[in-house]
Amino acid sequence: MAKKIINLLILLPLGVILIVFCVANRQSVTLAFNPFRPDDQVLAVSAPFFVFLFIALISGMLIGSAATWCSQGKHRKRARTEAKEAIRWQGEADRHRTRAEDIAAQLPAR
């Protein structure tokens, strides 16, 4: 419940700011990919300014996420190997417990 309230208190103002930002930056701009001839329309894209900013924001988030995911690969691999080892040791313990119970059942009762 508290997490939902905190998310609402953070995401609602952020959404309002984002909407105001989009409304304020509706003018069309041209992004030219040819630095030697910027008037070349073949290598140019025209769109509202906020579209380019959103594309930059989203691509930055994706690149950052990919970099984080790649850098944490060694930790995920270690967790997988430790989980497999834990399962193996649990099976070993179960086999020893079963063997101990069998031996205890074979002993004469006093």
Question: What confidence score (pLDDT) does residue 110 get?
Answer: 62
Question: What confidence score (pLDDT) does residue 6 get?
Answer: 82
Rg (CA), the chain: 30
Q: What is the mean pLDDT of residues 83-107?
A: 93
- Nearest CA-CA partner of 31 in 10, 11, 14, 53: 53
31 forms bridges with which residues in the sheet? 45
Question: What confidence score (pLDDT) does residue 21 get?
Answer: 83
Q: What is the mean pLDDT of residues 73-99?
A: 95
Question: What confidence score (pLDDT) does residue 67 get?
Answer: 95
Percentage with pLDDT > 90 across the chain: 45
Give residue-wise pLDDT tens across range 31-65. Answer: 888 888 878 888 899 999 889 888 998 999 999 99
Q: Is the pLDDT of residue 71 over 70?
A: yes
- Alpha carbon distance 76, 81 (integer Å): 9
Per domain, the residue ranges of the chain are 73-104
